[in-house]
Chains A and B, each alone.
Chain A
Amino acid sequence: MLDLAIANLLSPIVLSFVLGVGAALARSDLSVPEAVAKGISIYLLFAIGFKGGASLTKHGIDLTLGLSLLAGVILSFGLPLLGFALLRVLSGISRTDAAAVAGHYGSISIVTFVAGTSVLADAGIASEGYMVAVAAAMEAPAILSALWLISRGSDVAEMSSDLWREILLNGSIVLLLGSFAIGMATGAEGMSRIESFIVSPFQGVLCLFLLDMGLIAGRGLRQADVLDRGAIAFGLIMPLLGAATGLIAALLVGLSVGGTTLLMTLAASASYIAVPAAMRVAVPQANPSIYLTLSLAVTFPFNLVIGLPIYLTVAKSVIGS
């Protein structure tokens, strides 16, 4: 466990993230241009989706795929309820803010997922290719749970068809599922054609993306005074609870060590792209500083630096035994 933690801490992706955080905290003018960051995120989503689809053709489709998708959807619906209850106990933030935060913790961070696949690759552990589809399936249900929690209070949440179209067809989901479908359709033949583009440069590009994430997280940390101690504790405890529920789900479904690690990672991660945008539209009265700072500046670094080695170690010890 300690060896894995040290290896993770000294990996290029974590060190790139640390560099970004340090530069932001030191108020350096280092920045990644917006268009570059967007291009990198498109590359990463395409690569991870394609690789997942191509891997699926190698391993074939079985009942576990459907069960994994179902488990992901149930986790995404359920985790906000757990998060909401925990946050109400730990922190003094309002019911609306607590529900909005909880929604973020039911949804997923695709960058944490990508970092998880990178940790697995470094450890030489394979995973089910369809975990990419599980990630996509977990994006939206949590938003519904959060809006339900808000509507049970005195606040109003917009739930129009336009909003649902935007959530379900947001660029990340379309690209992830689209590239997954291309990977499935073209299989090993397609992979061999573009392997030099989506496999070899992947880790280096991920480093640059995590440098940008570090810069943003570091700037977010400078605003951490919007959070009380209970909320910060929530940002550190909730990923562990999420990972534990992910582990239970993975055991029920029968996933491999790699798949279990990824499902734990997905359940532990918090959204900072799809859910914030949905919350701004549906619940503008919720404070974005709280939910963005928690998911991006507290939980994301925790998962990247500490969480991933824990999830892999636990998965290996439980599934491997």
Chain B
Amino acid sequence: MQTHDAKRVEITIEKVMLRRLTGALESADVTGWSVLPVLGGSGRSGTWNRDDQISRGTGLVQVVCLIRPDKLDALLDAAFEVVDRHIGVVSVTNAQVLRAERF
């Protein structure tokens, strides 16, 4: 099976910042992503759990994008402007995809 190089970018960010992040991704010409709920975790800001969040808007979500490698810099620049001052993690991994024309 023919596969193609791609980059998988995972951005874990506060839910309240989600709309700003997806707006930034659109402005960087990234048209596809998935949003996943984060149930809980632990990090520099301490341990947290989604059940403990009264406002249901203060938890974290993860945005996952699979993109062509040449789009990576534009995506990271756009995402950085949003996540710079906020809690969150941005990671990039190499991936292989089928049907390269979709990315």
List the interface of chain A (C-beta within 8 A of B): 31, 34, 37-38, 162, 213, 215-216, 219-220, 223, 272-274, 276-277, 280-281, 284-285, 288-289, 292, 296
Residue of A nearest to B37 (CB): A34
Residues of A within 8 A of B36 (CB): none
Interface residues of B in 1-33 (CB under 8 A from A): 14, 16-17, 19-20
Cα(A147)–Cα(B16), bound, Å: 17
Contact at B54–A273, with CB atoms within 8 Å?
yes
Residues of B within 8 A of A162 (CB): 19-20
Q: Does B55 contact A (CB under 8 A)?
A: yes
Q: Taking the nearest CB of chain A, how far is it from the CB of B55, in angstroms?
A: 4
Q: Does B71 contact A (CB under 8 A)?
A: no
Residue of A nearest to B17 (CB): A281
Cβ-neighbour of B54 out of A216, A223, A280, A285 (below 8 A): A216
Contact at B85–A284, with CB atoms within 8 Å?
yes
Contact at B55–A272, with CB atoms within 8 Å?
yes
Main SS of chain A's interface residues? helix
Contact at B86–A284, with CB atoms within 8 Å?
yes
Contact at B17–A288, with CB atoms within 8 Å?
no
Residues of A within 8 A of B52 (CB): 216, 219-220
Residues of A within 8 A of B17 (CB): 280-281
List the interface of chain B (C-beta within 8 A of A): 14, 16-17, 19-20, 45-46, 49-58, 85-87
Contact at A37–B55, with CB atoms within 8 Å?
no
Cα(A215)–Cα(B58), bound, Å: 17
Residues of B within 8 A of A277 (CB): 16, 55, 57-58
Cα(A37)–Cα(B54), bound, Å: 9
Contact at B56–A285, with CB atoms within 8 Å?
no
Contact at B86–A37, with CB atoms within 8 Å?
no
Contact at B55–A276, with CB atoms within 8 Å?
yes
Residues of A within 8 A of B55 (CB): 272-274, 276-277
Report if A276-B58 is in contact (Cβ < 8 Å); known contacts: A162-B20, A284-B87.
yes
Contact at A34–B51, with CB atoms within 8 Å?
yes
Pull 12 A–B residue pairs with CB atoms less than 8 Å apart, ordered by A. Answer: A34-B50, A162-B19, A162-B20, A216-B53, A219-B51, A223-B46, A273-B54, A276-B55, A280-B58, A280-B86, A284-B87, A292-B54
Cα(A37)–Cα(B55), bound, Å: 10
Of B19, B49, B52, most A-chain CB atoms within 10 Å? B52
